[in-house]
Structure formats: C-alpha cells, structure tokens
Structure 1
C-alpha cells in the first residue's frame, strides 16, 4: 500500500512536480553579475534565480569598439549567440586567430582557449546571448600575451587591466 502522506517535494526525482519549467521574462534579468567597463551582463538562468546546477545563461551588451582583456574560462564551454551587431573574436596563445560573427551566428569557445571578445563596430552596440556549461563564473585573466596583431586602440581599463603606456 502506498504511503500517501509522504511528501514528494523532498524526493529529488519528484522535485519537478513543484518546481518545473520556469519562464524568465526579458525585462526581469538580473544585473547582479560580474561587470566589465563597456560591457553590461545580465543573468537569466543561474543557480540563485532558478536553481540551475550545470548551466548559466544571460545577455551581454557591449559598447562600440569595446573589448575584453585576454582570458579563458577554465573547464567551461561557452556559446555566444549574436542578436545584433558585429562580434570579432581573437584567440590563441598570441591571439593569432580571428573570426567575425553577425546577427543569427553562434560562437563556440572551448575550455581553456585564450580569447578576447571585441565589438567590431565603431558606432553600434553588440548584443548577445551567453550560455556557459556551469553555474560558476570562471574567468582566468591572461596578462602576458604578446599578440601577433596589436589590438585596437580602445582598451578595458579596470583594476585588472591597466591602460598600456
């Protein structure tokens, strides 16, 4: 005979009955994420918001000509979907590889790949959706890169990335 008094909410296999599909409205994204000058990130899906265990998703808006410092995301895989604008990605030990993506394009960044994200437009913002394979925000900044091609003249300036003199 089944025990109908048993609370299935505590059974991880029954959790979905009480905490199933969730819709996160676009005007309800959480800006309480790591921010970089010239770049505005917002979380849609993470552990704090929906209980996600193995994925992070959100949006990023990057100002014209802005770029990140050289970095990688450890073991995480990242996917970037370009909504509007022109993205330029540089990657490699000396940022010797480059590719561009536009609206409707996906960018895949494998684990441990040193890379730099750049808004390739001098006039228009770049808007993207980001998805990462884990909930932790792993960012390993790389400061000793001698790029094969000198970067554009707009630099991220923050406590980690000083303006080159």
Structure 2
C-alpha cells in the first residue's frame, strides 16, 4: 500500500484536527435526540443520523412502544432494518397476507429484509417494548399496504413515526 493515494486522512500531524473532530463518535444514552416525530404509543429517539454525526448510509436510535401497540401493514422499500430487543416481547408478522409470525425477547435480533410486507407488534398487553433500531439509510422509506388485511389489526394506540404512518 505504500505510495498509493487515498481519499481519507492517515492521521498525519496536519490532519490530526480532522480525525479529532470527524472520527469516532460516542453518543451516550442520556444524549439521544427526542426531536423526532412523536405520537401516542411510541417514543423514538435518534442516536446516529446525518444531522447528528454526518452518517451517510445508516440511521440508529431507540424506540419504546406501549403495550399492545401495533403498526399497520407496510414495507420499507430497499432498506434493511435490524431491531434489537432490550426489554419486552416483540411480535413480527410478515408475508403477502401476514401469514408468518415470530417473536423476540430481550437479547434477540430481528432482521427485516427489503420490500417484505410486515407488521410490528408489542406482544405484551401490559409491558412496554424497548428496542434499538438500525436502518440501512437515513431516508425514511415506508410503503403502506392498506389492501393487506392484518391478522392483528392495529388498535387504538398506533406505533407511528415518520417511518410508520397512521394506517
């Protein structure tokens, strides 16, 4: 690799300030950004996004969902999503008629591939669901599928944010 040109700094003395200010970032749990769309049933906070750290290809944050909250049926276009369950019980339904289901608990990861119709559900009637959410882009892509009849219809408390719109 010696003699090759690169588009990123190597930490030379004249580039140290760039590394210092544009390098690794730690976003502590008490510094999450609640300045996101908030609606009844869900509390979302951004940790990593373009506005906060300059992220170009990823979004990460936390979401707390009230008991029994459910989204409408939707998919996220070309985006991939990963959900890590911190506390509570998550139920995911997916498929053309939401005919498939799986549940996840604390310490479990959920992967949602691009274009998969799905519904996110807090499986507990009396416990909140707390998760870490990571998406493969900063853009909020959501395609609602109102023609799909959900097996578990959304109830009066919806899981709604810029990604999950009211059905």
Q: TM-score range by the shorter chain?
A: 0.7 to 0.9
SS for the counterpart of 1:41 is: strand
Partners of 1:112 and 1:33 in 2: CA distance: 24
Structure 1 gap ranges (5+): 1-10
Residue 104 of structure 2: aligned partner: 101
Residue 141 of structure 1: aligned partner: 144
Residue 13 of structure 1: aligned partner: 8
**CA root-mean-square deviation:** 2.1
1:51 equivalent in alignment to 2:54: yes
Give CA-to-partner distance per residue, 1:24-66, whole Å, 9 cap, x none. Answer: 0111111222444311111000000000011100000000000
1:156 to 147, 150, 158: 158
After superposition, the Cα gap between the structure-2 partners of 1:92 and 1:34, relative to the gap in structure 1 and judged at 3 Å, is: farther
Q: Does the 8 Å contact 2:71/2:120 carry over to 1? A: yes
TM-score (norm 1): 0.82
Partners of 2:157 and 2:41 in 1: CA distance: 10
| Count of residue pairs the alignment pairs up | 150
Structure 2 gap ranges (5+): 1-5, 10-17
TM-score (norm 2): 0.81
Mapping of 1:1-150 within 5 angstroms?
13-14=8-9, 15-147=18-150, 149-150=151-152
Partners of 1:12 and 1:137 in 2: CA distance: 29
Partners of 2:154 and 2:54 in 1: CA distance: 40
Q: Does the 8 Å contact 2:85/2:132 carry over to 1? A: yes
Q: Does the 8 Å contact 1:65/1:121 carry over to 2? A: yes
Q: Does the 8 Å contact 1:88/1:100 carry over to 2? A: yes
Partners of 1:119 and 1:24 in 2: CA distance: 27
Q: Does the 8 Å contact 1:67/1:154 carry over to 2? A: no
